[in-house]
Amino acid sequence: MSSKVTQLQFPALPYDFNALEPHIDAMTMEIHYTRHHKAYFDNLMAAVKDTPMADMSFDDLLKNISKFPAAVRNNGGGHFNHELFWSVMSPNGGGTPKGALAEAIDKNFGSFEQLKEQFNTAAKTRFGSGWAWLCVKADKSLCVCSSPNQDNPLMDVADCPGIPILGLDVWEHAYYLKYQNKRPDYVSAFWNVINWSEVENNYNKAL
Which residues sit at the interface with Mn ion, rule CB under 5 A? 36, 169, 171, 174
Q: Which is nearer to Mn ion, 131 or 203 (CB)?
A: 131
Residue 207 CB, nearest approach to Mn ion (Å): 28
Nearer to Mn ion, 121 or 129 (CB): 129
Residue 188 Cα distances to 23, 116, 131, 164, angstroms: 9, 9, 15, 20
Shortest Cβ 67–Mn ion spacing (Å): 25
Instruction: Say how far residue 107 (Cα) sits from the centre of its chain.
Output: 23
Shortest spacing between CB 152 and Mn ion, in angstroms:
12
Question: Nearer to Mn ion by C-beta: 85 or 109?
Answer: 85
Minimum gap (Å) between residue 29 Cβ and Mn ion: 11
Looking at the Cβ atoms of 34 and 111, the one nearer to Mn ion is: 34
Residue 190's alpha-carbon distances to 28, 144, 155, 168, in angstroms, are 14, 16, 25, 8
CA distance 169 to 81: 8
Q: Which helix (H) or strand (E) holds 168?
A: strand 163-169
